[in-house]
Amino acid sequence: MGCGTSKSAGDGEPPPPKRSGPRRKRLTVIDDGQKHDLPPASDGPSVGSDVGLVVHYAANDVVVDCKLSDQDQQFKLDYCATTAAGMEGGNTKENQDSVNIEDNIKEEKGMIFFAVYDGHGQYGAKASRFVKQRMVHNISEAPAFAEGDYVKSLHYAFHKTNSDLKRQRIDLAATGTTGCTILMVREKIYIANVGDSRAVAALVNEDGKIVKVDALSRDHKPTIPAEQERIESCGGVVCPIEIDGETFGPPRVWIKGQQAPGLCMSRSLGDELASSVGIVCDPEISVRKLDSLRTAKELWIVIGSDGIYEFISNEDILAMAIKNGPAVRDSAAYIIKKSRAEWLDQEEDVIDDCSAVVLKMRLIRKEGGEEAPAEAVSTEIEESK
């Protein structure tokens, strides 16, 4: 395993490649080789099946007060969080994804938190669930929170949650989790991301057509120049698995001269081995005003684990959400079902855990609650730290 090695970990060499290339299954960390008893899949997941689908949170027509272009406004918000366990070898596995939505933080209406955490490693489910339980508390208890500095609060919360996680009775040597979160504070959203879960957005015009697709976060891959430089300066090596001179899978992070940890992202929570060679829990944060609500009929946002993006583009994920609305619950369910079908088509007996948090917003008139007409105004990133 690793650069210049000839053996793989876990159950031996990768299975025979499908079609003309190597198997595309991208495990976040190399399997520990231990066997786990898994319940059998029932009818097998298909695009029309509800196997393993769990809806955790859903709400419609939540009215949020906001101020856009110095005018008092309101928008309606629908949201839903849905997740489904994956499969390995045709058997259902433990779902290591966690999704979370919390509203009225500190009893403030219009302050809502959305998150997807994608755990990995032997205890990935425990890691993602713990982070889910602690993150919002740590945001609201951050010293800068009372001052309204939510960028500093998010940085504080990710580091504090990571410290809290490391005090748990969880072996974090090769276990950790991503975290892609959005903190909505009335007319602003604060996107904080660690790892390769992802948030994307689309504006929809009056004809129901997508007029703009935007990535709200970026995947933290170890081949990003600044990320790779940090890893290598800490003694790490970035390269794919090599077996008998042939490489397999994405570039991974290794301790120089060792066959560990094999992580294929450059930032995460947990992952103690990887953190020794430059893997950090510090989130990238961007801040956006929701002025885009004035440019089109609707603004849609999807936050997802990498399972939904492995074989489907940002544009297609958003198109699925919009086409299968107007109920965001139906949109989220279809995204997961379609993602699972794509995994089966590409991998035959492997499906990654798939999670999607879907948001839909549309501006309304404050008096009477009727929808306001769209205006030709562009939206830009206000701040990125």
Q: Report which secondary-structure segment, H or E, holds 343.
A: helix 328-347
Q: Which segments in the chain show pLDDT lower than 50?
A: 4-27, 29-50, 368-369, 373-385
Tell me which residue has tokens 């492995």.
Answer: 310
Which pLDDT score is estimated for 160? 98
Question: In the chain, what's the furthest Cα-to-Cα distance?
Answer: 70
Closest by Cα among 375, 143, 162 to 272: 162
Which pLDDT score is estimated for 294? 85
Which pLDDT score is estimated for 218? 97
- Report d(CA 190, CA 180) in Å as an integer: 11
Locate the domains of the chain by residue range: 53-220+265-384
Which pLDDT score is estimated for 1? 52
Q: Report which secondary-structure segment, H or E, holds 384.
A: strand 381-384
Compute φ and ψ for 134, nearest 5 degrees: -105, -25
CATH 3.60.40.10 describes domain 53-220+265-384? yes
